[in-house]
Amino acid sequence: MLDLRPVGYVIGLLVTCLGVAMLIPMALDLATGTEHWQAFAQSAVVTVLVGGCLALATANGVGDRLTVQQLFFLTTGVWVALPIFGALPFIWGETEARIVDASFEAVSGFTTTGSTVLERLEALPPGLKLWRGLMQWFGGVGIIVVAMVFLPELRLGGMQIFRSEGFDTQGKILPRAGEIAQSVSGIYVFLTIACGVSYLASGMGPLDATVHAMTTIATGGFANYDSSFAEFAPSAEYAASLFMLLAALPFVRYVQVVAGTAKPLFKDAQVRGFFGTALVLILTMTAFQLYAFTDLTELAFRKALFNVTSILTGTGYASADYGVWGPFAVAMFFFIGLIGGCAGSTTCSIKIFRFQLLFASIKAQVQRIHSPHGIFKPRYAGRPVSDDVLSSVMSFFVLFAVSLGTLSVLLGMTGLDFITSVSGAATALANVGPGLGPEIGPSGNFAEINDTAKWLLIIAMLIGRLELMVVYVMFTAAFWRG
C-alpha cells in the first residue's frame, strides 16, 4: 500500500513555512497603516495550523528514501498545496477576489508564470504587492530544487541527463533536496539583493526595487504596475535584462563557481547555446525595428534586448506593446516564448538543452541517410546520448505539442478567439506570462476571460511547471500498479 506520510510531512512543513512568511507582508501593511494586515493575519493562522497539523500527523513516516510513486505525489502535491493557501490573502483581503481569480493569481505566482487577473496594480496595498513578489520568489527557488533533485530521479523529459551533475547523495532524496536548497539559497539571495540594489540605483523606490528584484530572479514577471517596466527609467530595463539572463543559467554552475571552479560554467553546452540563441534573437529583433521604424537606434536595441530576454526566459515583463510591431514580431515572440532558458534555473518552457538534443538527433539521422553504413550517435556536450534520454526528449516534444493543441481547442470552445486561445495555451504551458492579442497581450491581462478558461489555464500552468509528464504519468494504470 502506498505510504503518503513522507509526502504529507514535507508538504505540511512547506505550508507551515508559507504561513510564517505571510507575517512579512502583514508587518509591512501594519507599518504603513493599511488595514489589509488583517487578511494576512487570518491567512497566516489558518495556513500555519493546517500545515503544522499535517506535519505532526505524518512525522512518524519520514525516511531518507522515497519511492517513485511518492516522488510523483510530492512533486505534484507541493505545487497544488502552496497556491491553495497563497490565494487566501486575495480572497480575504482588499481585492475580495473570487476563488477562481485568487487561485489563478496564486498559481501564476508560485509557478512563476506571471499572468495576472488583477487590475490597477499600483493601487494594491503594499503588503499584497510584496506577497505577489514573495510567491514568485519562493516558487523560483522551489523550481531549482525540483529541477536538480526530483526530475532527474524521475527520468522524465530528458532531465536524467543531469542526474549525476553537481550533487551525489546515494539516492537519499530528502537529504539531497536539503543539501541543494542550502547550497543554492545563498546564491539566490545574493542575486536578489544585487538586483534590488541595481534597481534602487536606477531610480525605483524601495518597495518596487524589492518586489521586482524577487520576480526578476525568479523569472516570474509580476510587476507593481499595469504598464510593467514601461513605468521605469531605461537604466532599469538594462539592469533587468542582465539579471534575467543570470537567472536563466544553471544554478549548479554558480555553486561550482563559489566553490572555486568556474570552468564548468564556461564549458556548459547549455550556457553557450542559451547565450548564442539570445544574441541572435536580440539582434534580429533590433534589425527588424530599425527597418520598420528608422529613427529608433538606442531605443530599438533596448526594447529588443529587454522584451526578447523577458519572453525567452519566461519572465513576462513588458516595456512596450510588441503586439503592435507587426506580424513578424508577433510570430517571433510567440516562438521565443517556447524556447526557455537552461535546465536547473528558474526559467520555464521547453528549455535549451532539449532543442540541442533534438538538433543532435536530427544531425545524426541526416548522417545515417547520407552514409547508410556509418555509425552515428547523437552527442551532447561531447558525450554520446543514450537512447532513453533521446526517447524522453522526443516524447516531451510530442506531448507538449498535443497538450498545446488540445488546450487551444478547449479554450476556443469556451468562446475565446483563435489568437487568444492559442497564445493563452502556449503562455500557460510554457509559464511565460503575457499572451498575444488585445485581451491577454503585453498591454492587457487575463481579468476579462471567462471562468472556464481561467480554470483550464490554472491546470495548464501547473502541468507546464511540472514538465508535463510528472502530472500525466499519475493518470496511467501502470503508475498505480507500481
pLDDT classification of 3: cutoffs 50, 70, 90 = confident
Question: Counting beta carbons within 10 angstroms of the beta carbon of residue 15, is it exposed (0 to 12), middle (13 to 18) or buried (19 or more)?
Answer: buried
Report the C-alpha gap between 281 and 285 in whole angstroms.
6
Q: What pLDDT, in 10s, does the model give residues 421-452?
A: 999 999 999 999 999 988 999 988 999 999 99
pLDDT at 65 over 80: no
Q: Which three cell numbers stand for residue 398?
A: 510530442
Take residue 235 and report the three cell numbers written for it: 537604466
Q: How far is CA 277 from the centre of its chain?
A: 19
What are the residues whose beta carbons fall under 8 Å from the beta carbon of 196, sequence distance 6 or more? 209, 210, 212, 213
Q: Taking all residues of the chain, what is their mean pLDDT, rounded to a whole number?
A: 91
Residue holding cell 499572451? 435
pLDDT of 413 higher than 70: yes
pLDDT above 60 for 172: no
Residues in the chain: 482
pLDDT value of residue 168: 44
pTM of the model: 0.94
Task: Flag whether pLDDT at 294 surpasses 70.
Answer: no
**DSSP letter assigned to residue 156:** -
Rounded Cα gap, residues 330 and 334, in angstroms: 6
Q: What is the mean pLDDT of residues 347-363?
A: 93
Given a cut of 60, whether residue 171 has pLDDT beyond it is no
Those residues whose C-beta lies under 8 Å from the C-beta of residue 200, and which sit 6 or more positions away, are: 206, 209
Band (pLDDT 50/70/90 cuts) for residue 482 is low
pLDDT mean over 289-305: 86
